[in-house]
Amino acid sequence: MQIVSSVWRLPVVFVVLAACLYPLGLWLILRLQSASPLMLTVALAAVGACLICGRPLASLGWHWGDWRSQYLSFLLPLGYAAIAYLALWLLGGGGWYNQAFVDELRTSYMLESWSDGSVIALRLLLTATVSFALLLPSVLGEEIGWRGLLVPALSESLSFTQVCLLSGLLWSIWHWPLMFLGYYGNSETPLAYQLALFTVCIVAMSFMMTYFRYKTGSLWPAVIFHMSHNVFLQKFFSPITEENARSAWVMEEFGIAVPLVAACFAIGFWRKGVREFADTRG
């Protein structure tokens, strides 16, 4: 008797391999001071699962898809991050803008005669181009697993809503050990608070990214979405914010602003997905 039914074999093997490779990724984080190796272990788990289960690597969604989905995947994280940070700046969760950070940028760019506004605009441009492109190897490593393999594998037996929830929860839980160990998050708010809001944020992202995976059959919109989310939060909005005593409670993925706004965006994509993909189960 089979322990795991054939339809569940691929996602289960992937999750088991990802868990087995996790300690290696953590060790490499400590050795190399970079999260990229841990992210790349997800790709290794996906490739291994395909080989074990006889699934062709072409099924991971390598074709490009349509350009409109790529543009939207780039702009959506910028949109919800901008709304979230504008709200927290207006409501006192942080200030616009961090003068020390801008002064540091001006010096590092060797543009001493430039105004603050010009330096900030250049930072945004470089974030959206150079910094964005540099994230490709590590983010692609994750997305080969989560959206390339896991989402279509789960869609063979689950509804759109169930796929979004389960893939998003697994993706968020994969990050939790980093938060338990203090490598991810902040030291100013309770861990339970951070875990809850981080999970809301990741699951909300999962609804949007899964929609594009279903819509295009390609993993690239998810890659672009993930890169855009990471780069605008980590390289622009968070460092440009002048922090105060309340900032840790509202900023980034561990405070309330970004998860709340992302969840509102996700509701729209959930409604679209339920309408468009009601009969996609295999």
Does this model's pTM top 0.75? My answer is: yes
Ramachandran quadrant class, 217 (left: phi over 0; alpha: psi -120 to 50; beta: rest): left
Which pLDDT does position 232 carry in this prediction? 98
Q: What's CA 208's distance to the chain center, in Å?
A: 11
Whole domain around residue 211: which residue ranges?
A: 61-276
How large a percentage of the chain has pLDDT more than 70?
97
Does the structure show a pLDDT above 70 at 196?
yes
Q: Other C-beta atoms within 10 Å of 87: how many?
A: 15
Question: Rounded to the nearest 10 degrees, how much is the dihedral formed by the CA atoms of 160, 165, 171, 177?
Answer: -170
Does the structure show a pLDDT above 90 at 82?
yes
Q: Looking at the domain assignment, is residue 2 inside a domain?
A: no
Mean pLDDT of 121-143: 96
Q: Looking at the domain assignment, is residue 22 inside a domain?
A: no
Q: How confident is the model at residue 1 (pLDDT cuts 50, 70, 90)?
A: very low
Which pLDDT does position 33 carry in this prediction? 81
Q: How confident is the model at residue 34 (pLDDT cuts 50, 70, 90)?
A: confident
Mean pLDDT of 80-87: 98
Which pLDDT does position 237 carry in this prediction? 98
Which pLDDT does position 35 carry in this prediction? 81
DSSP secondary structure code for residue 109 in this structure? T
Q: What CA–CA distances, in Å, run from 31 to 22, 27, 176, 180?
A: 14, 6, 20, 19
Which pLDDT does position 278 carry in this prediction? 80
Q: Looking at the domain assignment, is residue 43 inside a domain?
A: no
DSSP secondary structure code for residue 222 in this structure? H
Q: Looking at the domain assignment, is residue 67 inside a domain?
A: yes
Which pLDDT does position 134 carry in this prediction? 95
Q: Which residue has the higher pLDDT, 4 or 241?
A: 241
Q: Which of 4-13, 40-49, 133-142, 234-243 has the lowest mean pLDDT?
A: 4-13
d(C-alpha 162, C-alpha 43), whole Å: 23
Measuring CA to CA, which residue among 125, 10, 22, 78 is closest to residue 261? 78
Question: Rounded to the nearest 10 degrees, how much is the dihedral formed by the CA atoms of 231, 238, 236, 107?
Answer: -130
d(C-alpha 213, C-alpha 61), whole Å: 8
d(C-alpha 84, C-alpha 90), whole Å: 10
Does the structure show a pLDDT above 70 at 2?
no
Q: Looking at the domain assignment, is residue 190 inside a domain?
A: yes
As given in the structure block, the two tokens for residue 257 are: 């602003």
8 A C-beta contact, residue 179 and residue 194: yes
Q: Which residue has the higher pLDDT, 29 or 261?
A: 261
Instruction: Give the tens place of pLDDT for each residue, 36-49.
Output: 889 999 999 999 99
As given in the structure block, the two tokens for residue 110 are: 């060797």
Which pLDDT does position 31 carry in this prediction? 86
Q: How confident is the model at residue 142 (pLDDT cuts 50, 70, 90)?
A: very high
Q: Looking at the domain assignment, is residue 53 inside a domain?
A: no
Which residues are CB-contacts of 62 (< 8 A; sequence separation ≥ 6)? 218, 219
Q: Are strands 95-96 and 241-242 parallel, antiparallel or unpaired?
A: antiparallel
Which residues are CB-contacts of 47 (< 8 A; sequence separation ≥ 6)? 57, 144
Give me the numbers of helices (H) and strands (E) for the chain, helices first please.
Answer: 14, 2
Which pLDDT does position 280 carry in this prediction? 56
Instruction: Give the tens place of pLDDT for each residue, 153-182.
Output: 999 999 999 999 999 999 999 999 999 998
Does the structure show a pLDDT above 70 at 5?
no
Does the structure show a pLDDT above 50 at 187?
yes
Q: Which of 3-7, 131-135, 157-161, 264-268 has the lowest mean pLDDT?
A: 3-7
8 A C-beta contact, residue 156 and residue 148: no
Q: What total number of domains does the chain contain?
A: 1
Which pLDDT does position 282 carry in this prediction? 42
